[in-house]
């Protein structure tokens, strides 16, 4: 009941982000590193190939962190709905692009997949 209230209070972008986080177990750094080309809607899976920590894009370092993650069909439908509404829908666009930065990511120091958003090496 509380989860439904939370989801109904969120805008489409944020609701999709929360659904994807809960439905896949991905870290925030991995969610923000997703591009549309990383989502295979035919196979209902998502590939994690990069992460963003403190607005820094880095590739995943290990093969294990790059294995495709299955998507529930309803979650894939939620992603398709978000893609229809966002202005950043090209294959190389970020799934959760920020309108504040016009879909761009700022440059900074390095990070890797598998690190929480508070860790850098």
Q: Are 12 and 98 in contact (CB under 8 A)?
A: no
What pLDDT is stored for residue 115 in this prediction? 40
Q: How far is CA 68 from CA 26, 47, 63, 119, in A?
A: 11, 4, 10, 24
Q: Which residue has the tokens 């398709």?
A: 80
Domains of the chain: 2-101 (1.10.443.10)
Which residues, 6+ apart, have CB-to-CB distance to 92 below 8 Å?
35, 36, 37
Model pTM score: 0.79
Q: Is the pLDDT of residue 118 over 60?
A: no
List pLDDT tens digits, range 59-108: 876 665 668 999 999 999 999 999 999 999 999 999 998 777 677 664 43
Residue 114: pLDDT over 60? no
């Amino acid at each position: 009941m509380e989860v439904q209230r939370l989801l109904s209070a969120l805008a489409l972008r944020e609701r999709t982000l929360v659904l994807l986080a809960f439905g896949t177990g991905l870290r925030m750094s991995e969610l923000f590193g997703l591009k549309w080309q990383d989502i295979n809607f035919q196979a209902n899976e998502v590939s994690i190939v990069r992460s963003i920590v403190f607005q820094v894009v880095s590739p995943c370092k290990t093969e294990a962190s790059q294995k495709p993650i299955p998507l529930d069909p309803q979650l894939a439908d939620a992603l398709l709905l978000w893609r229809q509404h966002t202005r950043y829908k090209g294959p190389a666009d970020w799934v959760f692009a920020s309108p504040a930065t016009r879909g761009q990511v700022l440059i900074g120091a390095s990070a890797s997949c598998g690190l929480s958003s508070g860790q850098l090496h």
